């Protein structure tokens, strides 16, 4: 992509028309030129005044925005691109209410656009696999917490929270890639398919550090090494420095930008947080990468 580290005036100049935005979607979908999804022929031509490309071989017409999050949108692509730019500019993201205020649109419309962008973020990280030394544990998000509560009260408070499986690469004192998944429980059968999908398989073998929860032994069945044992609360930060850092930053992200723990769409918010975390050393490329993610993600309504 030729648009990295853009200032706002540069963005406005480069994407000042619908055609410029449409061309960016085309380039993201077919960086080496058009390929017909029906016959695989590598040549086609744009039909005048339409958003379609016609194959020179089978003559099938393919919409440029089909199979993207822009499919059948009633908003101009310029509006979509400006929102994507706003999302990419701040490491803390932007709330739906702020987008609605800036763009002069209804809150529900702003929320739908942001949820589709977050869906694209999550879709890109689905293919990101973790490896090496990995810290793994569960965290609870949402509800109101108190410092000192009785055991019975603590169980009630925990039942009102969302349980999150968190695992992050630990590279000495530096954290690597991160994954956060909302789970109904921390049972063996729940954790296994998630870890199978998100952990690098052979020939590399990962080494996990977890607490004493028995279900964490699932990583051994997947061919990985495991160091586990009960860890008192006051030693959590020392034993899991990268994990504690990720959880703390995720909570600040949710409360600082969105001022809430939205249980219904929590996974979407965590997808956005992990997407930014995993690309925090490539901030100047976030916008171009996000445009590509939106162009390569199938349309999906916010859950």
How many Cβ atoms are within 10 Å of 37's Cβ, its own excluded?
A: 11
- Domain positions in the chain are 133-277
The pLDDT score that the predictor gives to residue 127 is 87
For residue 6, give every residue at least 6 positions away whose Cβ sits within 8 Å of its Cβ, in sequence order, or none: 14, 85, 287
Residue with tokens 């039909």, as numbered in its chain = 47
Q: How confident is the model at residue 158 (pLDDT cuts 50, 70, 90)?
A: low
How many Cβ atoms are within 10 Å of 210's Cβ, its own excluded?
A: 23
Give, in degrees to the nearest 5, the angle at Cα 76 between 70 and 81.
Answer: 70
Residue-wise pLDDT tens digits, 92-118? 889 899 999 999 999 999 999 999 999
The pLDDT score that the predictor gives to residue 156 is 53
Q: What percent of the chain has pLDDT over 90?
A: 55
As a whole number of Å, the CA-based R_g of the chain is 22
Residue-wise pLDDT tens digits, 209-249? 998 888 999 999 898 999 988 888 777 888 899 999 999 99
What is the C-alpha separation between 278 and 127, in angstroms, rounded? Answer: 12
Summary mean pLDDT of the chain: 87
Please say if the pLDDT value at position 146 is more than 80: no
Residue-wise pLDDT tens digits, 50-84? 889 988 999 888 899 988 999 988 999 999 999 99
SS3 21: helix
Q: What is the CATH code of the structural domain delimited by 133-277?
A: 3.30.420.10
Please say if the pLDDT value at position 297 is more than 70: yes
């Amino acid at each position: 992509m030729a648009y990295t580290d853009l200032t706002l005036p540069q963005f406005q100049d480069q994407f000042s028309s619908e055609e410029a935005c449409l061309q960016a979607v085309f380039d993201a979908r077919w960086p080496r030129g058009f390929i017909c999804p029906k016959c695989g022929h590598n040549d086609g031509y744009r039909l005048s005044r339409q958003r379609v490309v016609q194959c020179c071989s089978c003559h099938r017409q393919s919409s440029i925005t089909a199979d993207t999050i822009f499919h059948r949108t009633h908003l101009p692509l310029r509006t979509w691109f400006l929102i994507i730019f706003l999302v990419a500019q701040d490491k803390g993201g932007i709330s739906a209410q702020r987008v609605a205020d800036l763009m002069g649109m209804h809150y529900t419309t702003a929320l739908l656009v942001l949820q589709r962008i977050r869906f694209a973020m999550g879709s890109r990280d689905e293919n990101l696999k973790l490896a090496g030394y990995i810290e793994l544990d569960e965290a609870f998000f949402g509800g109101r917490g108190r410092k000192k509560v009785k055991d019975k009260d603590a169980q009630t408070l925990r039942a009102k929270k969302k349980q999150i499986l968190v695992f992050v690469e630990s590279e000495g004192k530096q954290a690597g890639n991160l994954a956060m998944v909302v789970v109904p429980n921390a049972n063996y059968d729940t954790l296994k398919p998630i870890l199978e999908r998100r952990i690098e398989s052979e020939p590399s073998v990962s080494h996990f550090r977890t607490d004493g929860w028995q279900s964490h032994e699932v990583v051994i069945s997947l061919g990985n090494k495991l160091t586990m044992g009960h860890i008192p609360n006051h030693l959590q930060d020392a034993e899991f420095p990268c994990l504690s850092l990720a959880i703390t930053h995720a909570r600040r992200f949710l409360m600082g930008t969105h001022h809430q723990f939205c249980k219904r769409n929590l996974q979407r918010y965590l997808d956005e947080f992990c997407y930014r975390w995993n690309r925090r050393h490539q901030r100047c490329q976030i916008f171009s990468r996000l445009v590509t993610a939106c162009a390569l993600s199938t349309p999906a309504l916010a859950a």
